[in-house]
Structures are given as C-alpha cells and as structure tokens.
A and B are shown apart, each in its own frame.
Chain A
Amino acid sequence: MGRKIAITGMGIISSIGRNVEENYASLVASTPGISDIEFLETRHRGELKVGEIKISNEDLISELGLPEDNNYARTTLLGIKAAQEAVQHAGIKDLNACRTGLISSTSVGGMDVTEKYFYDYEHQPGKQKYIAAHDAGHSSLVIAEVLGLKGLVSTISTACSSAANAIMMGAKLIQSGVLDRVIVGGTDGLSKFTLNGFKTLMIVTDSYNTPFDNDRKGLNLGEAAAFLVLESEEVVKKENKKILAYLSGYGNANDAHHQTASSDDGTGAYLAMEKALKVSGLHTQEIDYINAHGTATPNNDLSEGRAMIRIFGEENVPEFSSTKAFTGHTLAAAAAIEAVYSILAINNGVIFPNLNFKTPMQEFDLIPVTTVKYKEINHVLSNSFGFGGNCSTLIFSKS
C-alpha cells in the first residue's frame, strides 16, 4: 500500500538495560528486570515487585550532564536519555536542518515529584519550581529543549496505548508532508500514585507476572522510556541513512465497553489489529511474531487472546509472546519499548520468550513462545491496549 515509513534510529532505557544493546542482551539471556523496590519511597517496599531502573534522579541528572538547578521529573529524565540515544543512533547532526518534530507520550508526567511536595510547597520554596513540571506535556517540551529541537512538539496521553499512538501519528505527519522527520515514543517513571492506583484495582501481582498463564494474578508495574526516529524517503535517500525497519501498519480503535476493563470478545483489540493489517496490506499469514500487550491481568490476556483468535483463526495465530515478564508494564512507554523489541526481533531473527509461563489458559489453545527462538522474522505485530478502551496495533517490517 506504499504507506511504510522508515525507522532510522532508536533509544531505550528500561529495567533490563540502559540502552538498546543492554536491553537486547537481557532479552536473549532471558534475564528479567523485575525486582524489589529500592528507589521509590513507598510503604509497599518488600511487598510488590516492579521493573525499576536502578538509578536515582540525581545520578541520572549528573550522567546526562544536565544543569543542577532544573525542575525535571523522573519521567522527563528517562525520556531525555532515550531520546538522545535515538537521535544519535539515527546519525542526526543538525536536528533542525529539516522539518523535525517530537511526539512523546506519558501517563505519569511529573507525578513523582508532585507527590513528594504536594502539600508542602508552601514550606519549601526551593521546591516550588516543580509545580510547573506536573503537567504531562511538560516532559515533551523539556525533551525538545534539551535536544535543541525547534518544531512541532506534541504529547499523547491515552494510558497504556500512548506510545503506539505517538508512533502512528508521527508516521502520518511524515506521510502527509507536514514533517520530514519525527522523534516518537513515550516515557513513564515509577510513582506512588500509579503503584497505588493499580493496586487498588486489584490487578497487581504480589509476585512475578505470568502473561497468558491460566493462574496469572496481575501485572508488575515498570518504568521505561523509548523513542524511534522516523524519516521520510527523501531524507533517507539524501543522507544515505541505514533503515532499521519500516513501520508498515498501524491502527487505533476503541473498545467502548468499560473505562478500565476490556470486553470479553476483545472488540477494540480486534478492530485495531484489523485496521493495522489493512494499512500494511499484509495477509494474516505474513505476520511472523506478535509482541502481545500481555500484561498478565486476568482480563487483558483473555480479551487479547480472544481477539487474536478472531483475527488469525484459532489454528493460525502466529508465534507470540509478551515481554512484560521482563520489564513489567511500563504504561505509556510500553508500546515504545516493545517497538524497539519488535525491531530487534526482525533484525536479529529472534523471538523473545514469554517468561514465567507454566499452564495454558483453559479458555483456548494459545501457548506463547517460552524460550529464546531464532528464526527469520519479516513482519511483527505489536499490541498495546489502555484504559478508556484505547486499543492500538503497530506492524513493523524488515527493510
């Protein structure tokens, strides 16, 4: 269908690695990043496990060489790290040499600092600078500023599908000729607000998450940031860029069932996958691997499983896995880190394992890939579903 967009760079930081290489090494070594809480100050330490990045905000600031007097929340710091790696990886010397934009996404925003000082600001004048850092969009403006970007900057916040939506919107802006190049992705740091929020919904496990397992008890929360650089055909040709992969399909649909729960038959998921396949022009048999949303909540995995069966047919669901047993559920960043993993899968010809799997779900016959598996991968379908019924699917293809 001729709508594919070239991906020329990527950057990532997650609980399984501080950059692309480290993440890949952990994935093929089956080394997860779920652990006890060390940095987040919460009463749930020792009780809940998370995908925490073992570095403090202060150390991130000094590692990134940022001015000490800043008002950057954790989400922003992680975003800067990943965005810088992506821009460097894409070999961009002058970001503003052509029409460049940034579409980031987040659900946490500046909440990790807000929750520290919310009722104390009057007594801590030195911390009042963080008031302006609370809004979701603030992180994007800062990331753009640190990158030295002057252009179209926007932020998407649709819960757990956010980064997928940022990626697809970026692609559309290039296809319509509004931009020549765009940095797209998402970032979310850990916060008490989200940890407690998910806990009260009773969809958090007190152990290690087990996607698509019959006895799954819920998710582990995680934190991460990842960005891709998308560039137009003209820029790729002119600068002789190496293309990592193509974004060849995308779709967004709404489940319209319930604010937080997915419908039993996975309507939203089904429609999103259907749209993405249509945009890509691919047949279902051409999908070699599905990187599932697979949060290990009772509701999601059932709903997503049903939707996959509806699209592909029970006997023909491609090999699939959820990488959330590695990283935890990184909320708005999830689709972005999983985009990086999808591209790594294609370029290294490998399917990453769905860790912690023991017992197939009784509702259907779907068994994820449970060990590192090497095979030729040409097309990967990646799902991300969020609150508010927001369902998004991306398809990546070999270049």
Chain B
Amino acid sequence: MKPVYVNSAVCISAQDTLNEGFFQEMKPPTSTVLLNAIAPNYKDFIPPAQIRRMSKTVKMSAVAAHKAMQEAGIEMPDAIIVGTGMGCEEDSERFLSNVIRNEEEFLTPTHFIQSTHNTVAGQIALANSCHAYNFTYVNPGSSLEMSLLDAKLQLEHKEAKTVLVGATDEKATRTMELYRLNATIKKEEDLPVDFLNSASEGVVWGEGSAFFVLSSENSESTCAQLQDITFINTLEETEVSDFISEFLSGNNLHASDVDAVILGFSGDLRSDGYYRAAQPLFENALQLYFKHLSGEFNTASGFAFFMATQILKRQEVPEVMKINTDLKKDSIRNILIYNQLHGEDHSLVLLREA
C-alpha cells in the first residue's frame, strides 16, 4: 500500500493553535457552553473589502488553507476536498431570516449565493484559479473522515500527488439558540463539565477550521503518515470493541500495539458511553481526549487530527489532553482517533509517525 504523508497541518480553533507555542499552553474553557474560535489577523491574508463580506467559516478556511499550502510548499493542489457539517450556516440564517421576516419580498441574493455548502471549497478554488477536482462532504459527524478517505484513494491510485483536505464549521446565532432549546448544548447550570464522567446531557459547542496537505511524497514538512480510515453510520456500545479490533487487525495491529488513542469524550451523558466501551482495549496506551479544548461540533475531529500530527511530530503529549496521566511511553509510533457525533457517524483514523 502506498504511504500517504501529511505534509502540513494547520488549525484554527478555540485554542491558540495557529501560534507556534500553543502545544503545552492549551487551557480548557470551563465557564461557557459556546466556544469561539480564536481568529487570526485576517487582514494579513485577505483584502479588507473582502473580509467584511466573508462568513467566519469562509475566512477561517481561507487562512488555514493558505497556510497549509504554504507550509507544505505547494502552489496548487491536485484536488481540494472539504468536509463540513453545517456549511455556511451564518449566510443561510441571514437569507432565511430575510425570507421569513420580509415575507419573501425585497430580497437580495448575496447571502443565498454564499450559503451553499461548497462555498468554502469553491472560494479556495477561485482564490487559486484551481480547476482541479473539488468536492464537499457534509455527513454530520464523518465529513472530514470521508474527505480523508477520498484523498487517500486518489493518492494511492495516482490520480493526484497532493491533495488539500480541510474541515470547517462555524457557530451561527439562531442555530445555537435552537441547540440549547433541544438540549444538544448543555445548560449553564451543568458547568463546569467533567468530560470523562459527565452526569449531564448536552455538549459545549465549538467551531474551527483545520486544513492539511496530503501527499504521496514526503518532504521536510512531513509531520505524520495517514495509515487508514473507516467509519460507520451506526453502532451499538457492545459492538465498539469489535469495530475497533477489526479495523486494527486489517492494519496488522492489535489494540496493544497502539501507542496513543484520542477519544471524543464530549461531556454528553447520552453518547459518551461509546468511548468508555473503547477504553478497556487500550489499557497500555496513552489515552487522550480533546473536546474540552475544542468543543464539540460536526468537524471537531479536525482538531483531533491536527493534534495527532503534532504529537507524532514532537513525540510529546500535552498534559491537558491526558486521561491516564501516570502512563509514560518512550516513543509514540502511532495514534488512533475514535470519534462520533450524537451516537452516530462513528469513525476511526489511524496515523503513524513520519
């Protein structure tokens, strides 16, 4: 099987992940149920006149994609693949609001035009005059994983040499209100959250943009290798163990060969049971969690993937991510990420050191 190299990884999130020194400085926000991504200085990347018209998700992605290509030393990717759960929800809400409040009169097209889910991928193509393959996946919890799979297959079949893969989601005001209403998001009185043993329903909702350049050729900037991906729409808690073991054995590994596992504990009583069902397999691995840092959202696994690449590159783990704090490893050769959203779209991503 041809190796797939991750030649760059850039992340905009609720942590200062654009900043070089972020690795051991991350702190979990504890007093809010909505996390804002730390915005870069957009003026450094985008003409001011354009910034005003761009939604958060388009802006974040423009910066993250640009930096990812720069870091990997490529001018033009052979394919652009983006995953998003909500797409351009801010623009969508604005247009919908106008449609409803104005009773379908006096409407302008701007927000409608910008509301299609593939606006991010389309804008990146436009900015780079890139005529290459351009896809957008939107399954609620597995859009990044499908994007990674698509990229991996193209690299393996020599349809592309470099692929820009990204995952992005923004919080939109009314949607957040509705998520609080239907208990997707926690109530403030349930804060602070014990993410590993939550007694309350709902999650802390975040946002962010993570972009990567995958390639069939390694380079100075290579930080990790993408070994394999799988995902499934639905799973019982009793099936988690087999789901993971079969995936690993398909890659000639036992659970005991995994050095580190990143689990998507979200603080939601209803669905965190899946991660607890996975933990017994990994008694000798570094067990890590991340959503206390990034928040939960459709493409939160982008943060996990980014952290996995950084951990493999530095051979170090941020203290704040550790679950089993006593365990030490001499080297981290591989990392498995297990994530799901609201009990659906279960995914496994396996990375190796470069």
Contact = CB atoms under 8 A, between A and B. Distances in A.
A44 interface: yes
B100 A390 contact: no
A348 to B, nearest CB: 32
Contacts of A172: 150, 153
B117 A200 contact: no
Contacts of A235: none
B135 A169 contact: yes
A156 B156 CA distance: 22
Contacts of B143: 137, 154-155
Contacts of A151: 232-233
Interface string B112-141: 111111110111011011111111111110
B189 interface: no
Contacts of A387: 113, 116, 118-119, 122
B136 A157 contact: yes
Given A145-B234, A153-B233, A155-B137, A389 B125 contact: yes
Given A156-B136, A156-B137, A253-B133, A389 B122 contact: yes
Contacts of B86: 135
A154 to B, nearest CB: 4
B104 A192 contact: yes
B46 interface: no
A157 B125 CA distance: 16
B179 interface: yes
Nearest to B130: A256
Nearest to B128: A256
A197 B95 contact: yes
B150 A169 contact: yes
Interface in A157-202: 157-159, 165, 169, 172-173, 176, 178, 192-193, 196-197, 199-201
A23 interface: no
A254 B137 contact: no
Interface string A108-119: 000100110011
Interface centre among B95, B99, B118 (most CB of A within 10 A): B118
B7 interface: no
A144 B150 CA distance: 20
Contacts of A144: 233-234
Interface string A129-146: 101101111101100110
A122 interface: yes
A158 B105 CA distance: 27
A137 to B, nearest CB: 4
B26 interface: no
A388 interface: yes
B344 interface: yes
B19 interface: no
Nearest to A387: B116
B103 interface: yes
B51 interface: no
Contacts of B142: 153-154
Q: What is the interface residue range for chain B against chain A?
A: 35 or more
A350 to B, nearest CB: 33
B138 to A, nearest CB: 4
A33 interface: no
B107 interface: yes
A145 B234 CA distance: 9
Contacts of B108: 200
A254 B125 contact: yes
Interface in A348-399: 386-390
Given A115-B96, A192-B99, A256-B129, A44 B233 contact: no
Nearest to B145: A154
B107 A200 contact: yes
A121 B138 contact: no
Nearest to B84: A157
A253 B132 contact: yes
Given A152-B232, A154-B137, A254-B132, A121 B178 contact: yes
B146 interface: yes
A242 interface: no
B212 interface: no
B131 A197 contact: no
A268 interface: yes
B182 interface: yes
Interface string A304-331: 0000000000000000000000000000
Interface in A182-231: 192-193, 196-197, 199-201
A172 B151 CA distance: 12
Nearest to A169: B150
A255 B133 CA distance: 10
Nearest to A107: B116
A157 B87 contact: yes
B135 A156 contact: yes
A40 B99 CA distance: 14
B157 interface: yes
19 contacts: A121-B181, A136-B87, A149-B233, A153-B232, A153-B345, A154-B137, A157-B136, A176-B157, A178-B153, A196-B107, A201-B112, A252-B134, A254-B132, A256-B130, A259-B113, A268-B131, A271-B131, A386-B116, A390-B134
Interface of A: 42-44, 102, 107, 111, 114-115, 118-119, 121-122, 128-129, 131-132, 134-138, 140-141, 144-145, 149-159, 165, 169, 172-173, 176, 178, 192-193, 196-197, 199-201, 252-260, 267-268, 271, 386-390
Nearest first, the 9 A-B pairs at minimum CB distance are A388-B122, A197-B112, A157-B117, A153-B233, A137-B139, A200-B109, A137-B140, A254-B134, A388-B118
